[in-house]
Structure 1
Amino acid sequence: MTSMTPQQAAKMLTNKLVTIRVGPAKVEFAISKQLICTIPFFSKAFEGGFKESNGVMELVDEDEQVFSTFIVWLYSGKVSRANSQKDVDNLVKLYVFADLCCNTMLENRTIDAIAETFSRYDEPSITISMAKHVYETTPTNSLLRKWLIETLVYDLSRKYNYVGELPTKEALEFVYPLVIEFPEFYLDFFGMLRTNDLHRVVHGGRGDLDDLGCRFHIHGQGETCHRGEPALAAWKDPIPGEAVVFEDQE
């Protein structure tokens, strides 16, 4: 999705609105029907003869702050990088929401915002709660999982000083809760330690966007990436600065 001109935005605001109630509190968002229905997930709901055809939809399991970020992207085509650990967590949730909606444009924008945050700042980290959320809500071949595993392997190798196939005791203790709860995490994490990618991941750092290219994007054949370059098809294959202060999570 590209950014709209002021004239296009004004036209959208004059169109018929629909209401989406988000979260347990059912916070209401009034959104241009024409705009929201450019996304098939919502067009099927509002225009497909379902109960939402009355112009009201409820997403009680979604987070209102995450949905607000989705609305910003919907109107602007942009997803900003995070300035706090909480922002990072919300971007991860936004990616999961985009996957739920089958919206690859938003997935690509969001993974870029996450990767840019991690490449610019040392403070953001892969937390146990973040990893659990990713493995609870994404499919086996998710590119978000792939990014998480590569970033986690790099971060743990730096924090606990290992570069070989087997991590240190401290690193194993960190991932232990994930290994016990998620067999797929076990396969992904230790699978990464045994691939030819290990040297690149451990020595490559938290790669910036230029280095990553379309590595974690989902593109159709011949599709142009939102960065304006011909995209390398990156299908969901199984896993084998500015001076902005990054705030600590309260």
Structure 2
Amino acid sequence: MLFCYYSPFFDAAFNGSFEEGVTQSMDIVDVDPKVFALFLNWLYTQNVAQDQDNAQTLGTFINLWLLDDRFLIPKLQNETLVALDWRRMETGKRVGVYHVVYNNTVRGSPLRRYLAQTTATGFPSNGAIAYEHDHYPPELVFDMFEFLRTQTGPAGARRRVNYSKDELRQFFVEEGETKPKEN
């Protein structure tokens, strides 16, 4: 089963002593069908759709990254981040689903770091950053401040970040051996 091959989450559920292993079924009711369709597409094609005919919203890519995190698939998280960044640059928009990210990730998450840096550098360099509590979680504002505080150069020299794929690697989830090693 492809699910089990790519995901230790599904492998443990279906090949372990959990109910899903006995019934060989699982209900996943809290996932947007569009996001799950992207996940299934990746399982079969190893490609995160990012062409013009199938353009996804930034929020859809965020939700796919969060699903990849839930299912423990770092390779897909990293490919999703590349697609997210590509779409962000193409549309010229900020990601904007800040509360979704901060409510579903932990401090230091690669997605939080990416969001803080791209948001902090996405404001006009000649303007102040207006804080809107309902729009920006306090943790995001702190993360943006920490990022901007560590940057060198003249004050107000923020620029919109256009990452190369190598530069995006700083936000990648470490890929590696995910299955338990046998003794």
Report 1:1-250 matches (<5 A): 34-38=1-5, 39-53=7-21, 54-81=23-50, 87-122=57-92, 124-127=93-96, 130-158=97-125, 161-162=126-127, 168=128, 171-173=129-131, 175-178=132-135, 182-196=137-151, 202-203=158-159, 205-210=160-165, 212-219=167-174
Structure 1 residues 36 and 61, CA gap change in structure 2 (3 angstroms): same
TM-score by length of 1: 0.61
Alpha-carbon distance in 2 for matches of 1:155, 1:206:
7
CA deviation after TM superposition for structure 1 residue 213, in Å: 4.4
Structure 1 residues 197 and 70, CA gap change in structure 2 (3 angstroms): farther
Do 1:119 and 1:208's aligned partners in 2 also have CA atoms closer than 8 Å?
no
Alpha-carbon distance in 1 for matches of 2:14, 2:42:
20
- Can you list the C-alpha shifts for 1:91-112, whole angstroms capped at 9, x where unaligned? 1001011111221111100000
- Can you list the C-alpha shifts for 1:121-148, whole angstroms capped at 9, x where unaligned? 32x3232xx0010001111111111111
- Can you list the C-alpha shifts for 1:27-84, whole angstroms capped at 9, x where unaligned? xxxxxxx211111100111111211121210111221111110000111111123769
Query: Which secondary structure state, in structure 1, belongs to the residue aligned with residue 119 of structure 2?
Result: helix
CA deviation after TM superposition for structure 1 residue 211, in Å: 5.6
CA deviation after TM superposition for structure 1 residue 195, in Å: 1.2
Percent sequence identity over matched residues? 27
Do 1:135 and 1:185's aligned partners in 2 also have CA atoms closer than 8 Å?
yes
Alpha-carbon distance in 2 for matches of 1:118, 1:82:
13
Structure 1 residues 86 and 50, CA gap change in structure 2 (3 angstroms): same
Gaps of 5+ in 2: 178-183
The AA in structure 2 aligned to 1:52 is E
More strand by share: 1
The AA in structure 1 aligned to 2:100 is H
CA deviation after TM superposition for structure 1 residue 219, in Å: 2.7
The number of residues matched between the two structures is 172
Q: Provide runs of 4+ in structure 1 moved above 6 Å.
A: none
Query: Which secondary structure state, in structure 2, belongs to the residue aligned with residue 57 of structure 1?
Result: coil
Which residue is 2:180 aligned to? none
Alpha-carbon distance in 2 for matches of 1:220, 1:155:
29
Do 2:75 and 2:175's aligned partners in 1 also have CA atoms closer than 8 Å?
no
Do 2:58 and 2:88's aligned partners in 1 also have CA atoms closer than 8 Å?
no
